Amino acid sequence: MAVLTVSGLGKLYKQYDSPRARLLALLTGRDLHRPHWVLHDVSFALERGHCLGVIGVNGAGKSTLLKLIAGTLRPSTGTIRRGGGGRVTAILELGAGFHPDFTGRENLRFASALIGISAADAARLEDGIIAFAEIEEAIDRPVKTYSSGMTVRLAFALATAIEPDVLIIDEALAVGDQHFQKKCIERIDAFRRNGCTILFCSHSQYHIRQICDVALWLDEGRVRLMGPTEMVLAAYETHVRLLDAKQPAGPATTAEPAAARAIEPGRRGVIRDLAIGPLAGGTPPTLQGDTLEVTVLAETAGDEQPHIAVMLEQVGGVGITSVATHVDGTRPARQPDGKWRATVTFPELPLHSGEYVVSAYLFDGHGVLVYDEWHQHARFLYASPARLPGLVSLRHHWS
């Protein structure tokens, strides 16, 4: 039995040319509006334990879909059926319902009632919520004295205090500092392992890949594609590259110099160095031979052993490959000075001649949370022995 079934879901907004036209329509009953469908004919079903990633460019209708399922908006067409009548928790605009003049503890009690937690359960859960949010010293101060990070931490801790049957998340993984983000991801992952059905909306395709079984691509309010995550993301990435190709190129960006970077409070790790080789001089330098070595040096807070990923792309073109220690079943090596080092070697490069760029990423010990990234940091030229057009040389045979 499906935990969640969405059939023919649509949301229509009426647009008027002016406030006067809106008032005239109210007074006369005439249709003076232009219909604007932000969501149209969306259908899918999710079983227990499924995790659906919702993707699409800004304005595609992602947040509208989640709000309709959460019940904060009413659909114009279609139906939403929840099998078994289980608990649905939505993490949308964290902290939006808190009153600034009330203390954190008072807001907890009011907000608990609003999301359907009984007074007895709220009292039982209160200490755990406060401890998870890590604001014990501020809980009896007015919320208006909180930082934005403290507010969303308290809101997230409350929203996930009771494990739901359906969890709806709209771009809510970037709450607080990296330490708290890690706790949030671990809690969401525990829900998923326990059979919670999750709808996860994010622009982070990496997190969609890590968390979701299936993906739904919305385009101008309609379902463009739905299916296995990797298949949908591959199609979406091609679509985004075509959109980017129509935009004028911006200035090249490089990572902040390593000497200027520090593990600030709340930050869990930084990349210290990214080296590629063997290279000959020039701007950009030229790779010598057909073997590429990429070495990444990183530092983490405490003794946490991180994971490291490397991405190789064609400059101004498409991605070639991405590799990561947690995917390949290995880990960076601890250095005598406490830093972490990983070297990946690409022998017999199957690339055709061109200019390429390397990026590095630092992840937590589970390979989920991104601690740092040096995006498109190091460029190099490669001259292939095969003087043929194309991007890569695929293994082949003639017959």
Per-residue pLDDT of the chain (399 residues; tens, 9 = 90+): 688 999 999 999 888 888 888 888 788 878 777 788 999 999 999 998 899 999 999 889 999 999 999 888 999 999 999 876 668 888 877 666 789 999 999 999 998 888 888 889 999 999 999 999 999 999 999 999 998 788 888 988 998 898 888 999 887 665 567 788 888 888 888 898 898 999 999 888 888 888 899 999 999 999 999 999 988 988 888 788 777 666 655 544 444 444 445 666 667 899 999 999 999 877 889 999 899 999 999 999 888 899 999 999 988 767 899 999 999 999 999 999 999 999 999 999 899 888 999 999 999 998 888 899 999 999 999 988 877 778 888 888 899
- How many C-beta atoms lie closer than 10 Å to residue 1's C-beta? 8
104, 127 in Cβ contact below 8 A?
no
How far apart are the C-alpha atoms of 308 and 363, rounded to whole Å?
Answer: 6
pLDDT at site 390: 80
How far apart are the C-alpha atoms of 37 and 87, rounded to whole Å?
Answer: 29
How far apart are the C-alpha atoms of 163 and 173, rounded to whole Å?
Answer: 17
How far apart are the C-alpha atoms of 274 and 294, rounded to whole Å?
Answer: 7
82, 228 in Cβ contact below 8 A?
no
pLDDT at site 95: 65
Q: Nearest Cα to 254, choosing from 398, 359, 123?
A: 359
pLDDT at site 255: 45
- CATH topology (fold) of 48-244: Rossmann fold (3.40.50)
pLDDT at site 305: 93
Tell me the C-alpha to C-alpha distance, in Å, between residue 114 and each of 110, 158, 244: 7, 11, 43
Q: In the chain, which ranges are continuous DSSP H helix? A: 19-28, 62-70, 104-114, 119-133, 148-159, 178-193, 205-211, 229-245
Place of tokens 């983000």: 181
pLDDT at site 132: 92
pLDDT at site 317: 67
Token couple for 374: 């040096």
Rg of the chain taking only CA atoms, in angstroms: 25
Domain boundaries, the chain: 48-244, 269-382
SS3 181: helix
Q: Please state the φ and ψ torsions of residue 347, each to the nearest 5 degrees.
A: -80, 155
- CATH topology (fold) of 269-382: Coagulation Factor XIII; Chain A, domain 1 (2.70.50)
10 Å CB burial of residue 226 (0-12, 13-18, 19+) is middle
133, 125 in Cβ contact below 8 A?
no
153, 95 in Cβ contact below 8 A?
no
